[in-house]
Structure 1
């Protein structure tokens, strides 16, 4: 063997060893990091909390009297979910974390009127449940500043049920 092939062999060995060590350290670091906002997949089902833990949900009430189209309802529900998430991140981060960890359950229910919406919102606030009311800009199907949907929570299921448990699914 000549000197050049010994250098090439040694260089390759050091490169391979460095690559292996770098990959191993990177993998260990990656595996040690917490997983946030992990999406549900077939490989890793989301489970309910172990006994003693509370199930957290978000309830979104849609005003049925406005007769909004499906796309409009979808947009308003999305606005409510985002608003509730932002409010919970500021005012109830522990509840938000528990809700996020166990699947981010969102249940959409039917409200018959603005009066019913406001009465339930007041009841929820008195019970210590976060409330996010969405008002529409009025560019398409409803008048400006119309209250269209309300989000309750995220909060424990049993607390939400005391306020919204009687409502029908949307």
Structure 2
């Protein structure tokens, strides 16, 4: 065995200090484990008027069929709608957003025959306390500036969405 010098003792002490400090911060700030029952109980604190709290959550995107948009345009407008729905949910109903994402963030595109029908869907969603966002196009390519192209309804439970959009056909 070798001789213990003051410099090796200093390095050893520093290592112990760093280890103890690191352990303290790791244990102090590590996320606490929560069971699924605890998570469910906490999420139930924010209540909505939906029938079944375990219902599958979805986002419905109503695409105006009368505008005759090309596939790429429809895809872009649906992308805008999904982002708008996400942002609105994050701001207004974050727990609802978490539930939707837990179900895989399901998005369903349906046909809307006119601007009037799109606006009717918006009012119906509001009446059911379901978030909705209407997308307006900038008008740089296929449609007139300010045209309402897509409505995002939800995310919300399927049972609630069916009351508003259940009659619509898939896009």
Aligned to 1:151: 152
Q: Kindly provide the CA deviation profile for residues 44-86 of structure 1, in whole angstroms up to 9, marking residues without a partner as x.
A: xxxxxxx952332211111233232333222211221222233
What is the TM-score with the length of structure 2 in the denominator? 0.71
Q: Corresponding residue for 1:39?
A: none
1:128 to partner: Cα distance: 1.9
Match of 1:55 in 2: 56
Deviates more, 1:126-135 or 1:69-78: 69-78
Partner of 1:18: 17
Residues 1:85 and 1:52: Cα distance change in structure 2 (over 3 Å)? closer
The Cα shift of 1:134 comes to 0.8
SS of aligned partner of 2:62: strand
Number of residues of Structure 1 aligned to a counterpart in Structure 2:
152
CA distance in 2, matches of 1:90, 1:60: 19
Residue 107 of structure 1 and its aligned partner are, at CA, apart by 2.0
SS of residue in 1 equivalent to 2:111: strand
Aligned-pair CA distance for 1:136? 0.7
Instruction: Give secondary structure in 2 for the equivalent of 1:154.
Output: strand
- Per the alignment, do residues 139 and 33 of structure 1 end up closer, same or farther by CA in structure 2, a change over 3 Å counting? farther
Matches within 5 A, 1:51-130: 53-130=54-131
Q: Which runs of 5+ in 2 are unaligned?
A: 35-51
- Aligned mates of 2:63, 2:25 — CA distance in 1: 47
Inter-partner Cα distance in structure 2 for 1:72 and 1:24: 53
**Aligned-pair RMSD on alpha carbons?**
2.8
Deviation string 1:97-124 (CA, Å, 9 cap, x unpaired) is: 4324443322222223323322222222
For structure 1, which runs of at least 5 residues remain unmatched after alignment? 35-50
* Structure 2 SS opposite 1:66: coil
Q: Secondary structure at the match of 1:77?
A: helix
Q: Structure 1 residues 75 and 55 mapped into 2: Cα distance closer, same or farther (>3 Å)?
A: same
Other-structure match for 2:163: 162
TM-score by length of 1: 0.72
